[in-house]
Amino acid sequence: MSSLSDLPLAWPVTGHTVLGRGRVSLFVEDEITGPTGGQPFHRQYITHPGAVGIIAVDDRDRVAVVRQYRHPVGMELVEPPAGLLDGVDEDPLDAAQRELAEEASLRADHWSVLVDVATSPGGSEESARVYLATGLAQTDRPDGFVLEHEEAHMLVGWEPFPDLVDGILDGRLQSPLLVAGVMALATARATGRDLRPADAPWPVRGVHAEQQRERA
C-alpha cells in the first residue's frame, strides 16, 4: 500500500491581522516568510472551527438527506446531515451523533470514517470529516435544540444510494460533503476497501486545534 501522505508544515508567520469578524469565522491576513527566506508575502483566509457530515444509510440502501437553502451559492442543496464542531476539543464523533439527531432525528449503532476533506485549502481553514452511519433508528432531537433560520425550512428525506451517485456524476448534486462522502462509499464498495474506525486519527484537525489555541 502506498505511503503517500499530506504532511504538517508551517512556514514562519511574521504578522497576523484580523480584517473582519463574523459569528463563526474570522477573515485574517498573515505575513509569511518562505522556507528559504526572501521577501515576506501575504495570504488572506477564513478561519473555521471544522465540521462533520454523516452519510446515514438504512437497510434499504437509502441515504438520509436534507434540502437546505445556501445563500452564498443561491441554491437549495441536497446535503447530508452536517454541522460545525462546537470547540477545539469537541470529539468529532460526538458532534456527528449530535448533528444526526438534530437534523434528521436519527441515531446509529455503527459508525466509521468515510473521508476527511480540506474543503477549500487556498482560502479557508475548514476541514470536514464525513462518517458512514448504519444501524439507524428514530430518536428525539436533543433537549433545547430549535430549528431556526435556514434550518427551519429544511426538508428531510431519503434517497436511494445509486440515485445520489448518478446525481453527482451528472453534475446535479454539488454539496461538497455529499459528493465526498457518497463517492468515498461508492469507491469502498467497488474495491472492497475497509473503512477507518470512527476514532481514526484526523491529522489536520490536530494542526487546526493547535493554531486555535495559539490565537486564543
φ, ψ for residue 102, nearest 5 deg? -65, -45
Instruction: Please report, for residues 38, 90, 206, 216, the alpha-carbon distance to residue 104 in angstroms, rounded to integers and kept in the order given.
Output: 52, 21, 28, 34
Q: Is 151 a catalytic residue?
A: yes
DSSP string, 133-158: EEEEEE-PPPTT----GGGGG-EEEE
**Which run of H or E residues covers position 32?**
strand 26-34
Which residue in the list 31, 76, 102, 151 is annotated as catalytic? Answer: 151
d(CA 34, CA 26): 24
**Whole-Å CA distances, 210 to 46, 49, 195, 203:** 16, 12, 27, 11
| C-beta of residue 154 within 8 angstroms of C-beta of residue 175 | no
Residues with catalytic function:
151
